[in-house]
């Protein structure tokens, strides 16, 4: 039982680490627009029906918001991105 719990916790730790790595990469490559870039990837994954990737990129966007104090996060822009990707 303990081994299963430890394996599950390690898997969750690796998933969180991937979010953080992708968020840092987004911040480095997109600067202030990293949040929008992550939201675009989340919307694209959602439009394609890829639930796991949608959640990943949504979490990356939240990590970008947490890590970058100067990231732009206008909800009107996010809604426009989602509308564009859903078409």
CA dihedral (72, 77, 82, 87) positive or negative: negative
Mean pLDDT of 5-19: 95
Give domain limits for the chain.
Answer: 2-86
CA gap 54, 30 in Å, rounded: 19
For the chain, what percent of residues have pLDDT higher than 90? 79
pLDDT in tens, 26-51: 999 999 999 999 999 999 999 999 99
Mean pLDDT of 60-69: 94
Q: 49's torsion region: left (phi>0), alpha (psi -120 to 50) or beta?
A: left
CA gap 79, 81 in Å, rounded: 5
Say whether pLDDT at 85 is over 90.
no
Closest CA to 19 of 50, 64, 52, 77: 64
């Amino acid at each position: 039982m303990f081994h299963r719990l430890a394996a599950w916790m390690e898997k969750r730790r690796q998933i969180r680490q991937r979010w953080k790595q992708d968020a840092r990469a987004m911040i480095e490559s997109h600067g202030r627009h990293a949040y929008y870039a992550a939201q675009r990837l989340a919307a694209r994954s959602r439009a394609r029906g890829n639930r796991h990737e949608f959640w990943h990129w949504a979490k990356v966007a939240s990590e970008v918001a947490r890590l970058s104090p100067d990231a732009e996060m206008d909800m009107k822009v996010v809604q426009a991105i989602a509308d564009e990707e859903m078409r």
